[in-house]
Amino acid sequence: MTCHSILQWNCRGIKANFNELHILLQQCNISVLCLQETKLSPNCSLYLKHYSSYHIYSKTTSDDHPSGGVSTFVHNSIPHSVIPLNTSLQAQATLLTLGQTITICNIFLAPNTNTDLIEIDNLVQQLPSPYILADFNAHRPMWGCSRQNIKGNLIQQLLLNFIL
């Protein structure tokens, strides 16, 4: 049985943190890498040796700075396919075979964006089960945060809807 590792990292700009990423890739056997807040523009993509890469590029702010963006990297040894999503959210989903089939949805919700439960639920309904979601910028004491925010309330409600 092969052990696979999935790394999720809100890197707050991959260019500024590329050396740290390089060290992580050298020291860890990472199968899937999900980066959020990459701040990459379409003319500045990032590719990693031995990985297939998929990007949702950053949006440009009013002062011409890139903001947000997600990048997913899957080791070339892992069978996978991209799942097309119908959403305005910065989200990218990949179906992976890691001993069993699993979906990883790499998502970034900027702290200052307004997102509603219907929009998140519509995204989740498009994902084959089982799935892993990251990064909502959602804070709640329920999952170890010292504070809570509106996105945390939304994700808690989403979780409760699935349980009930």
Check which CATH number belongs to the domain holding 116 and give it: 3.60.10.10
Return the pLDDT at 2: 65
> What is the mean predicted confidence (pLDDT) over 75-102?
93
| Separation between Cα atoms, residue 135 and residue 35, nearest integer Å | 9
**By mean pLDDT, which of 40-49, 62-71, 91-100 is the weakest?**
62-71
Question: How many helices (H) does the chain have, and how many strands (E)?
Answer: 3, 10
pLDDT in tens, 11-43: 888 888 888 888 888 788 888 999 888 888 877
**pLDDT value, residue 76:** 94
Q: Report whether pLDDT(114) > 70.
A: yes
State the Cα–Cα distance between residues 73 and 141, nearest whole angstrom: 30
Structural domain range at position 97: 5-163
How many domains are there within the chain?
Answer: 1
The pTM assigned to this predicted structure is 0.84
